[in-house]
Amino acid sequence: METTTITLPAATISGHAHRSATTATSTPIHNAATGALIGWQEQATADQIDKAVREAHKALPSWRTTSPATRAKLLKKIAELIEADRARLAAMQMQVSGKPPFEANLDVSDAAATFDYYAGLCAEAAAFTPETLKLPDDTVTGERFYEAVGVAALIVPWNFPMVTTAWKIAPALAAGCTVVLKPSEFTSPVEHMLAQIIAEAGVPDGVVNLVNGGGAVGAQLTAHPLIDKISFTGSTASGRKVMQAAAQDMKRVTLELGGKSALIVRADADIERAVSLAVGGAFTNAGQMCSATARILVHDDVYRKFMAAFETAVRAIQVAPPAEDVVMGPLVSAAQRERVQALLAQGVEAGASVAFSGQLDPACGDGFFMAPVVVAEPAVDNVLWTDEVFGPVACVKSFRTDEEAIALANDTRYGLVATVVTADQDAARRYKTQLRAGLVWINTPQLIFPQVCWGGLGLSGIGRELGLAGLRSYQELRHALTDAA
């Protein structure tokens, strides 16, 4: 049994830890792979939240006027320190989330790459250079430029700690914003490690602050009158509440919410590749991904062949605590596992049929594990087909024409991603055009690069992260007209 070694402060403000006066509001931190208690997290008070926002507001004038070159050096240093601390960061990811080593190390790489990318944008400076406009009146000159929005509240989920945080903090700092981060109470230890790295890199006090707690802390943070921008990643239900709070002061918002995405296997698909993409798309991070392609559409001509190969692959998935040969880890908490199992039971009771499932390694013990499950031919109104499960449950349906596949894939209120497996380039172009998704992968795993924007349509959210658009989401577009005389 692991011993309790972590006690996280209620807040880190201007580089200083702020402790709670009482342990009554502290929440436990568990190792998802063993169920063991590994520490406690104090919850920020209303006064601490207010102080964090005010310190960010105080630091804003100085930070937003630093040169892009200065910000580039600091962001580059953060990226280098993340890489240098890879072993410790990955170990904490595995301890808190239970992720297999390859997933934990990929998270470290993604975080470092994001800071490095925005360091590059700052170093190039083109994104920060005012643009001269051509106007029909020669007596007036026009200019377009971008300015930091202000103080940003960043609220991140538990499924990709440090990664989603980097997606928000790096462009915010690059834009000249100051921030207050609220991590998930389930996975905050790795977020605190990242905050320490940012401070070590030399980012001035007050530019990056952190407050701990659950939904109540997030609600107080987003409602603060000195917050200018909210970037939230989480459930669609919570996103609605964030948007409502933002409306009071017309705060700028970016919402990266849920998904119910499709993977389409055409008749000409390489079945081995299709199965590999299906396993990765549905069961990476135990299915705890907004981008999970858990609605798998397979052409009728290859349906039996696909299902036979998919069953073999799913039954071979090693579900176990972190180790080099482990494919799938646990869910983040006992409560999350109960939620997923309840949705599965609801779907089965409504008529869905489990085609096959994987199995748990004996080493899973008291961890929050769940075997992967595949459901065949659910009704289009079944909860497993329509709702985001956020766990290792995949559904497979057959189709006969491209038109039917596209209609089934688009028959959702979400629109985050999609994957298409085909050898036909013309068909690939048609799918890219007609699928209602923010990002479409063709014959590739779910590759995510900082240069490529991330975000969706419909209930999947508002705005984009990463890429140049990710930077612009922390800036206000402004113009100036000047007498040319």
Average pLDDT over residues 195-201: 98
Domains and CATH numbers, the chain: 6-258+460-480 (3.40.605.10), 262-436 (3.40.309.10)
Tokens of 213: 């707690």
Report residue 370: phi and psi, to 5°.
Answer: -150, 135
pLDDT number for residue 23 = 62
Strand-pair partners of 417: 439
3-state secondary structure 168-223: HHHHHHHHCCEEEEECCCCCHHHHHHHHHHHHHCCCCCCCEEEECCCHHHHHHHHH
**476: pLDDT confidence band, cut at 50, 70 and 90?**
very high
pLDDT number for residue 24 = 67
Average pLDDT over residues 274-302: 98
Asked whether the predicted pLDDT for residue 42 surpasses 80, the reply is yes
**21: pLDDT confidence band, cut at 50, 70 and 90?**
confident
Residue that is written with structure tokens 């140049």 in the block: 468
Of residues 414, 370, 361, 410, the one with CA closest to residue 392: 370
Residue that is written with structure tokens 């981008």 in the block: 291
Phi-psi region of 355 (alpha: psi -120 to 50; beta: other; left: phi over 0): alpha
pLDDT number for residue 434 = 98
Q: Hey, which residues are catalytic here?
A: 256, 290
Query: CA-to-CA distance for 60 and 80, rounded, in angstroms?
Result: 25
Query: CA-to-CA distance for 356 and 378, rounded, in angstroms?
Result: 14
Tokens of 323: 């180790």
203-229 pLDDT, tens digit per residue, is: 999 999 999 999 999 999 999 999 999
pLDDT number for residue 6 = 86
Asked whether the predicted pLDDT for residue 3 surpasses 60, the reply is no
Asked whether the predicted pLDDT for residue 1 surpasses 50, the reply is no
Asked whether the predicted pLDDT for residue 4 surpasses 60, the reply is no
388-441 pLDDT, tens digit per residue, is: 999 999 999 999 999 999 999 999 999 999 999 999 999 999 999 999 999 999
Asked whether the predicted pLDDT for residue 78 surpasses 90, the reply is yes
Of residues 224, 219, 220, the one with CA closest to residue 240: 219
Residue that is written with structure tokens 């949705």 in the block: 343
pLDDT number for residue 5 = 79
pLDDT number for residue 317 = 97
pLDDT number for residue 105 = 98
- Give the mean pLDDT of the chain: 96
CA dihedral 30, 186, 49, 226 (to 10 degrees): 170
Query: CA-to-CA distance for 121 and 330, rounded, in angstroms?
Result: 37
Q: Is 86 exposed, middle or buried (0-12, 13-18, 19+ CB in 10 A)?
A: middle
Average pLDDT over residues 321-337: 96
CA distances to 38, 205, 210, 440 from 63, rounded to whole Å, are: 37, 10, 17, 37
